[in-house]
Amino acid sequence: MPANAPTATTSVLTARALLLDMDGTLVNSDAVVERCWRRWAIEHGLDPEEALKVVHGRQGYLTMAVLLPDRPMEQNLADNRVMLAQETADLDGVVPITGAPAFMAAIAALPHALVTSADEALATARLTASGLPIPSTRVTAEHVSASKPDPEGFLKAAAELGVDPADCLALEDSDAGITAAFAAGMRVLGVGPRAAALSPTAHTEDLTDVTVTSLPDGTIRIHVGG
């Protein structure tokens, strides 16, 4: 092995429930996100590359507030409704994260929930386009008063599953999402390249190296790595 080759790591985590982000974690929607947000940034005289640094993980209105801090929130909310409609209609390039179909099949009978900044329509469209099941327990944009990085969504999902936040493992890819999960008192499995530099509890490039086992006492064992 070359001296500068990355070292493979293995992690074993346990939990009683899995809380799953969608975009970047289960679904690769980067192509759509970049198309829509580049267009919006240019329309508002912003540098698209700078805008793309802050869009992941948050609800759109909060991203707009970060990028245009002096603009009335009513305008951000109105633009967000338009953005959601555009993203829901544009499914070109939306595909599952590598390993996501097998992972979702493996956890089908285990306590899990979707916790996403997308609204119900967008989440349904992207999961369906990716051929992934839609979790019966889900916290979408309509269900929270505050977007990630606020922990509200994760705390609400844990409560709906009846599991203590400390016993939940969140799967996330973004700064906002990982911050939200840690603020909720959860451990985090970071998924993908964005998560690698954000100090999650454990990290995986995709879901192919994640093995889930249900133990007799109801504990979920998550093995990450080769």
Q: How far apart are CA 201 and CA 207, in angstroms?
A: 16
Residue 23 falls in the annotated catalytic set: yes
Which one, of 26, 5, 13, 3, lies nearest residue 169 by Cα?
13
Q: Which helix (DSSP H) or strand (DSSP E) does residue 213 occupy?
A: strand 210-214
DSSP-based three-state secondary structure for 67: helix
Angle at 83 between CA 191 and CA 130, to 5 degrees: 45
Q: In whole angstroms, how far apart are CA 206 and each of 66, 81, 135, 159?
A: 29, 31, 20, 28
Residue 92 falls in the annotated catalytic set: no
Query: Of residues 21, 150, 173, 175, which has the active-site annotation?
Result: 21
Q: Record the tokens describing residue 173, joined without a space.
A: 């890819």
Which one, of 184, 159, 156, lies nearest residue 170 by Cα?
184
Straight-line distance from the first to the last Cα atom of the chain, in angstroms, rounded to the nearest whole number: 16
Q: Which residues are catalytic?
A: 21, 23
